[in-house]
Structure 1
Amino acid sequence: MYTISEVAKLLGVSAHTLRYYEKEEIIVPKRNAHGERLYDESHVAWLRFVMRLKQTQMPLTQIREYARLYKEGEHTTIARLNLLEDHRNAVQNQIMNLEATEKMLADKIATYKALISEHRD
C-alpha cells in the first residue's frame, strides 16, 4: 500500500492532482483507520492509464465517463470500447497533424539552411 505522497512521487504528479481525481470520482483510494488515503498496485496501474489518456489530450469529462462506466461493471464493456476507439481515432488524427507539421518545419529549416549557405559562399 502507498500513501498519497508516495503515489504522487511515483507518478510525478502532485498530491493535489490525486485529491482532484478523487473529487472527480476518477479514482477512489482506500482509507486507513485514521482516514488517510491508501493506494494499492491496481490504483497505481489505473492512475498510469489515466495519465496516459491525459497526455493524449483526452478530456477529463471523457476520463470521468470511462471511470464511471468501469465502476458500473461488465455490461458497459461496449460503451467503454466505443469511448476508447473514438479516442484512438482522435490520437491518430493528432499524429497525422504532427507529422504534417514536422514535415513543414523540416522543409522550412532546409530552406533557411540553404539561404545561409548561399550567403556564406
Structure 2
Amino acid sequence: MYTISEVGQMLEISTHALRYYEKEEIITPERDAQGNRRYTDSHLKWLEFVKKLRETQMPIEQIKKYTQLFKEGDHTSIDRLNLLEDHRRTIEIQIETLKTTEAMLDKKITSYKQHLSTVNLSKS
C-alpha cells in the first residue's frame, strides 16, 4: 500500500491531480483507520493508464466515461473498445500532424543553417 505522496512521486502526478481524479471518480483509493488514502499496485497500474490517456490529450470526460463503463462490468466491453479505438484514431492524427510539422521544421532549420553558413563565409 502506498500513500498519496508516494504515488505522486512514483508516477510523477501531483497530489492535487490524484485528489481530482478521486473527486471525479476516476480512482477510488482505499482508506486506512485514520482516513488516509492508500493505493495498491492495482491503483498504480490504473493511474499509469490514466496518465497515458491524459498525455495523449484524452479529455477527462472521456476518461470518466471509460471508468464508469469499466465499473459497470463486462457487458460494456464493446463500448470501452469503441472508446479506446476512437482515441487511438485521434492519436494517429496527432502523430501524422507531428510528423508533417517535424518535416517543415527540418526544412526551415536546414534553410537557416545554409543561410548562416553563407553569411559566415562572406564575412571571412
State the TM bucket, normalised to the shorter chain. over 0.9
Given the two structures, how large is their TM-score scaled by the length of structure 2? 0.95
Which contiguous aligned blocks of 4+ residues in structure 1 show a shift greater than 2 angstroms? none
1:62 aligned residue: 62
CA-based RMSD: 0.8
Matches within 5 A, 1:1-121: 1-121=1-121
Distance across 2 between alignment mates of 1:16 and 1:117: 49
Given the two structures, how large is their TM-score scaled by the length of structure 1? 0.97
Shift of 1:120: 2.4
Q: Secondary structure at the match of 1:67?
A: helix
Shift of 1:116: 1.4
Which has the higher Rg, Structure 1 or Structure 2? 2
Letter of the 1:29 partner, please give it: P
Q: Secondary structure at the match of 2:114?
A: helix
Shift of 1:15: 1.2
Could you list the per-position Cα deviations for residues 50-84 of structure 1 after superposition, in whole angstroms to 9, with x for gaps in the alignment?
00000000001001100010000000000000000
Distance across 1 between alignment mates of 2:110 and 2:96: 21
**How many corresponding residue pairs?**
121
